[in-house]
Chain A
Amino acid sequence: DTEVTQTPKHLVMGMTNKKSLKCEQHMGHRAMYWYKQKAKKPPELMFVYSYEKLSINESVPSRFSPECPNSSLLNLHLHALQPEDSALYLCASSQTQGGYGYTFGSGTRLTVV
């Protein structure tokens, strides 16, 4: 299995909703990432998990909350989002943190209404 699987593919949520994005990989990779991508822009790193420990938490709003239940799974919990949070959310994994290229999932297209 050489894929990163993301669910759902599309999500529409209101500003008061709570939802979660899910990501799964079975390549034995020990680093997993969440990226946000706006249209016609490169992806922006949100969170990094390396060996199931959050190693980078940039200035991402607290309405985004990552969770890594085990080395194969990565979740992104969403709460009280704003319309400007509408974007493509991409999950990626790599053998080790930053090593030798990432494998990306196909993303979740999120629309906040």
Chain B
Amino acid sequence: AQSVTQLDSQVPVFEEAPVELRCNYSSSVSVYLFWYVQYPNQGLQLLLKYLSGSTLVKGINGFEAEFNKSQTSFHLRKPSVHISDTAEYFCAVSAADSNYQLIWGAGTKLIIKP
């Protein structure tokens, strides 16, 4: 069975600085990987996903993530954050042995300091 670990519950960063949100997963089979963003009082929006192919995945709003199979990681990065990026970010994984249900990390709150 899979599990997802988001090591940081909160990440404070200054505006226009780079940011990395960490996500590690455990699985014995091939996985699909996702990052979702949830702005205050809203639903979840897909930022990006890794299904196969290139390990560097580009998403919306200038975010990208890199799939690292050997380290079982899928960290999310942005070179320069804005106040509008303040949100909760969830990493999720799905795989055949769990019927492709999404397994969620606990979430990381990104706090942008002016």
Contact = CB atoms under 8 A, between A and B. Distances in A.
Contact of A99 (B45, B90, B100, B105): B100
A92 B42 CA distance: 13
Nearest to B36: A104
B43 A97 contact: no
A100 B90 CA distance: 16
Nearest to B6: A42
Contacts of B43: 6, 88, 90, 104-107
Contact of B100 (A6, A40, A98, A105): A98
A90 B43 CA distance: 7
A19 B110 CA distance: 35
Contacts of B109: 40
Nearest to B98: A98
A101 interface: yes
Nearest to B105: A42
B61 to A, nearest CB: 16
Interface centre among A45, A90, A100, A101 (most CB of B within 10 A): A101
B94 interface: yes
A97 B32 contact: no
B100 A97 contact: yes
B94 A98 contact: yes
A40 B10 CA distance: 11
A64 interface: no
Contacts of B44: 43, 90, 92, 104
Given A45-B101, A107-B43, A109-B41, 9 more contacts: A40-B88, A42-B92, A42-B105, A43-B104, A56-B101, A97-B99, A101-B49, A105-B43, A107-B42
15 contacts: A40-B88, A40-B107, A42-B92, A42-B105, A42-B107, A92-B44, A98-B100, A98-B101, A101-B32, A102-B46, A103-B46, A104-B36, A104-B46, A107-B42, A107-B43
Interface of A: 6, 40-43, 45, 48, 56, 88, 90, 92, 97-107, 109
